[in-house]
Homo-oligomer: A and B are copies of this chain.
Amino acid sequence: MSDVYAARRGLLRERCAAAGNSAALITRPANVRYLAGASPLGAVLLVGPADDELFCAAPPTSEADEGRLDEGLTLSLLGGPGADPAVAAADRAAAVRADSLAVEEHHLTVARHRAVSSVAPRLRLADLGTAVEQQRLVKDEEEIACLRIAAEIADQALGELLESILVGRTERHLALELERRLVDHGADGPAFPTSVGTGPHSGRSRHRPSDRRVEEGDFLSVCLGANYRGYRCEIGRTFVIGTTPADWQIELYDLVFAAQRAGREALLPGAAYREVDHAARSVLDSAGYGEALAGCTGHGVGLEIDEDPQLAPTAMGKLDACVPVTVEPGVHLPGRGGVRIDDTLVVRPEADGGPELLTITTKELLAL
């Protein structure tokens, strides 16, 4: 793996040099992990001009959810509490005679930026922007393999829940049980806080589980994901509780299902982000649910659960092959509830069979 990280840092170094910067200071944890193999708490990465170096406040613990540090990296442990690794890194950059340092202005706070510039006044600070995030967009097959395993784990945890009795249990407990099952099946942890919404809470994006209990006739929306070696997937399903769904439930479900399918089918290399969003959104719009819609109908996943691209009406850009994204339209009717259907897929060329579905739990409307 070591050469993978070295290659990623090499690419970043080239991009920095092309922009006239001799070094880059990486502070955003997911970016540190992408380039260094691990992101110990508070660690920052200095890329070039000399050796690449990771600055930590505490020794890395080499636990799964921190990742394994690239052995090719120099490691610097800071002494003393309160010392900022970013300041130490800037000091080092100045010591090795870098003339300019690109920093992540979208992550670094104003106060830290000031501390960094004051420790190395001769160093010109530039903005790296989202260069690393852009590098992270297209995944290699090892990254996709981790996402595939994360999706399998989430499918297993969800499948087991569906075999258990649900009526009478609270959203909070169902969410906790799902998270336990994710770990049982080998996840390092949940990819994000598991969401369980019943009755009037169903269909809400990122609903935080409450003490409401599952009742006969409810819609039940579940959204969960596994973190496997740092890679995070997402699956969302909506079920009905009881023997026979009401007509409005069947109609709403079929509509959201059609919208989600349209979004999935629009996932092809070269498709504009907004086209994919429009494919799903227009189905719900034309049925009069435009207002009930969230800002985006899908997003990239990887080392973070919500990363670029955003599948939204105003998003700029086109999909590439090997970009994993979610497709997750939903409708929530205040006071009544609603439906959300969410899959994680990898964009693939039509020649390879089109989008690869990672989360394979059935999307028929199950009555539990």
Q: Which residues of A contact B (CB under 8 A)?
A: 41, 61, 63-66, 80-82, 103, 105-111, 113-114, 127, 172-173, 176, 179-180, 183, 204, 206-208, 210, 294-296, 310, 312-314
Contacts and interface: CB of A to CB of B under 8 A. Distances in A.
- Those 6 A-B pairs whose CB atoms lie nearest each other, nearest first: A81-B295, A105-B110, A106-B111, A105-B111, A176-B180, A63-B208
Given A105-B114, A106-B109, 11 more contacts: A41-B206, A61-B204, A63-B210, A64-B210, A81-B313, A105-B110, A106-B111, A108-B110, A109-B109, A110-B113, A173-B183
A41 to B, nearest CB: 8
A260 B173 CA distance: 36
Contacts of A110: 103, 105-106, 108-110, 113, 127
A67 to B, nearest CB: 12
Contact of A312 (B82, B176, B296): B82
Contacts of A64: 210
Majority DSSP secondary structure for residues of A touching B: loop
Contacts of A207: 61
Given A80-B295, A81-B295, A81-B312, A208 B66 contact: yes
A106 B179 CA distance: 33
Nearest to A177: B180
A80 B293 CA distance: 11
A314 B204 CA distance: 47
Given A63-B208, A183-B173, A314 B109 contact: no
